Amino acid sequence: MALQISALFSRVRVPLCTGPLSRVRANIQGAGVKFKHAVSAGRPLHQLTGTPATSPVRGHINAKFSTTTAAALWRSSQGNGSLSPRLRRGRLGKVTVGVAVGVSTVVLVQSLHTGALSAMALKVNLNSAEGDWKETKDFLLSLSVKDRRQYYRTSSSVPLDDIPVWTPTAGSTKRTFYPRNEKFDQRISVYSGDITKLEIDAIVNAANKTLLGGGGVDGAIHRAAGPMLQKECASLHGCETGEAKITCGYGLPAKYVIHTVGPIAQKGVGEVEKKALRSCYKNSLEVAAKNGARSVAFPCISTGIYGYPPEQAVHEALATVREYLDEHDDELDRVIFCVFLPADKELYLQNLPLYFPAEATVKSKL
C-alpha cells in the first residue's frame, strides 16, 4: 500500500519534463523553496504551486498514494509545519529528500490537498469491518468537518451552531454553589436528543469495561459509528471504571468518541461511586483537551443500566464540569449535557443555575 516515492519520481517526471532542461531545473529549485516556505508557514501548498486541478501528474500520484501517508502529510502541511518523528524517519524521509531536489514532490504534496484525498476517500468504507482502522482514522481525522460530512452514516446531523447555548436567568435561584463567572455563559448547553447526531469534536460514551459495545447509549454509538469503531476499541484493551479512552468517531458526525466507564450503582451510591462518576467527567474532559477537542457532549453517565440515581448524578456531573472549567479556562468552547429523557432535561435545567449562576453568590444570597 505504501507509496514508493522513488518509483513515483520516475513516473511523474515524464509529463513535467516538456521544456528545456534548464527551465525544468529552475522549476525544481523554485518549487523546493516554495515547499519549505509553505510548510513553515503552515499554508496549503496548492496556493503556492499553482498546478492546475486537471494536472495529469496529480491524477497519477493520487492513485498510488497510501491513505496513511497522505493524511499524515496533509496534517503536517496544515499544522505548525513540523513533521511527526514517524514521518521524518519513514515515508516522509523520502519525501523530504525529494523536496530538496525535485518538483515532483511539490506536485505530490500539493496533490494531497486538492485531489488525492477525495480519490483515496473512495477506498474508505465505514459500513464494513474490512480494512485498516488506523488508516481510516488517520484519513478521517485529516479532513475538515465539511469534507468529513460525506462519510457520515446518518443523514441527520446537528451542527454545533444549531445547539443552543444555555443562559442563566438573572435571579433564577436564591442560592448558588459556585460564584458567577460570565466567561461560562456561552459554554454550556443542554441538548435533548440523540448524542450520535451531534456534529461536534467529541461525544462521550457511557461504556462498559470491555469497550466492545453494549446496550443503551453505548449500543447507539457503536451502531451509528459502524464496525470500525469496535475494531479500534478492541485495540484499547478495555478501560477501568472512572477512566476514559478516545477513539475516532468513524461514521459519526462527531470527530472523536471518548469512552468512559461509569460506576455500577444498582446497590446504592457511596463515596466510591460518587468519586468514580466524577472521575468519568474529569478524565473525559482531560482526554478531550489533550486531543484538541473543544466541544464535548456527555450523556447522563451511569444513570441508565448502571442504576445511578439521576437526581444525584446531575450534581456530580455539574460540579465536575464547573471545577474543570474553573481550572482550565481556555481549553473548551462548549460542554453539552445531552439528555435523552424529559425528566433528565428538567433535572439539568433546575440545577444548572446552582453551578453556573447568573449573579454573584453574594448578591444572590441577599
Residues engaged in binding ligand AR6 (CB under 6 A): 194-196, 206-208, 214-218, 220, 262, 299-306, 338, 340-341, 344
Q: SS3 of 39, please?
A: helix
Phi, psi of 242 (to 5 degrees): 90, -15
Judge contact between 235 and 135, C-beta under 8 A: no
Give the Å distances, CA to CA, from 170 to 165, 314, 340, 353. 16, 21, 27, 9
Residue placing its CB nearer to ligand AR6 in the complex, 195 or 285: 195
Do the beta carbons of residue 230 and residue 247 sit within 8 Å? no
The residue (of 111 and 196) whose beta carbon lies closer to ligand AR6 is: 196
Q: How many CA atoms lie within 13 A of 317 on its CB side?
A: 29
C-alpha cell belonging to residue 263: 460506576
Nearest distance from C-beta of residue 260 to ligand AR6, angstroms: 9
Our CB check for ligand AR6 shows the closer of 110 and 196 to be 196
Name the strand (E) or helix (H) holding 342: helix 342-355
Question: 344 phi and psi, to 5 degrees?
Answer: -70, -35
Nearer to ligand AR6, 185 or 346 (CB): 346
Nearer to ligand AR6, 176 or 196 (CB): 196
- Supply the minimum distance, in Å, between the C-beta of residue 156 and ligand AR6: 13
For 112, which DSSP code? I
| CB 109 within 8 Å of CB 31 | no
